[in-house]
Amino acid sequence: MADFLDINKTSPEDLRAIIDTAQAMKIARQGAKRGTFDAEQPLSDHMVALIFEKPSTRTRVSFDVGVRQMGGQTMTLSGAELQLGHGETIADTARVLSRYVDLIMIRTFDESVLLELSEYAEVPVINGLTDRTHPCQIMADVMTYEEHRGPIAGKKVVWSGDGNNVCASFLHAAGRFGFDFTFTGPHQFDPEDAFVGEARRAGSKVTIERDPVKAVEDADLIVTDTWVSMHDSQSTKERRHNTLRPYQVNDALMAHAKPDALFMHCLPAHREDEVTSSVMDGPNSVIWDEAENRLHAQKAIMRWCLGV
């Protein structure tokens, strides 16, 4: 059994095996009635705890459905119900949960909560998102790109906007899957130097380009994410919008990429802010496949963690 904490903490061979399993499981379900169980039931007699300190739509539904499709059962817990680190320590919570469940997925704020939970849990732990990284999303993104365009190795991926937690996991993936990565955005929103340096040391060409038009030249994939958090104040939202406006992904920007360049967004999106509706709903957008593939990628991750 193994934890899935971050892409850079998982070997390239295991990451490829997860993607291949996800693709095979998706193909096996094609044509099947939606909501049916998988023919294989690898999580039969398994209980999975889904912990949400941060609210979620895609993560919650995709993990819950994925577990059920594979024959397992879920226990969904909110941060208010557990109050991790308040009263009972995270370490003690990890020890207790390990006596009840076979796998823990946590979506939290501070990365330290994830790491402490993993250190003391006796069952595998999956990173459903922290303020620093979002590895499950990027596994789905790699899967989606390869469904449409073949191997992502050697391709040029461009991130436009805020170098946030999703961007960080893309940099982890660049080093593991062998693609080049360009970040375009204001300097105050650059991804962490540690993420950039690690991708470069792994052999990925990582470029910081302030001009979004130059950045997307010869791009195979353009990605963005929301500019604001639900927790930001109104003044912070306005300030971020004004600063990031030049990095909106619109038809004019997409026109400077390769004609067949794909567009991705992990959702939820703020239409007409970080991306226009014409791009989201356009022929190069694969956002709905990307959202669906969270289900398949995470099912494969759970199987890998449990060795089933």
Q: Please give the positions annotated as active site.
A: 107, 134, 137, 225, 266, 294
Beta pairing, strands 221-224 & 47-52: unpaired
Bond prior to 246 in cis (omega within 30° of 0): no
User: Can you tell me the distance from the alpha carbon of 197 to that of 114, in angstroms, rounded to the nearest whole number?
Assistant: 23
- CB of 10 within 8 A of CB of 176? yes
Q: Which residues contact 251 (CB under 8 A, 6 or more apart)?
A: 276, 278, 279, 282
- Residue 153 tokens, joined: 């190795």
CA angle 176/24/144 to nearest 5° reads 50
H-state helical runs in 9-159: 12-29, 58-69, 79-82, 90-100, 111-120, 135-149
User: Can you tell me the distance from the alpha carbon of 46 to that of 145, in angstroms, rounded to the nearest whole number?
Assistant: 31
- Residue 236 tokens, joined: 């912070």
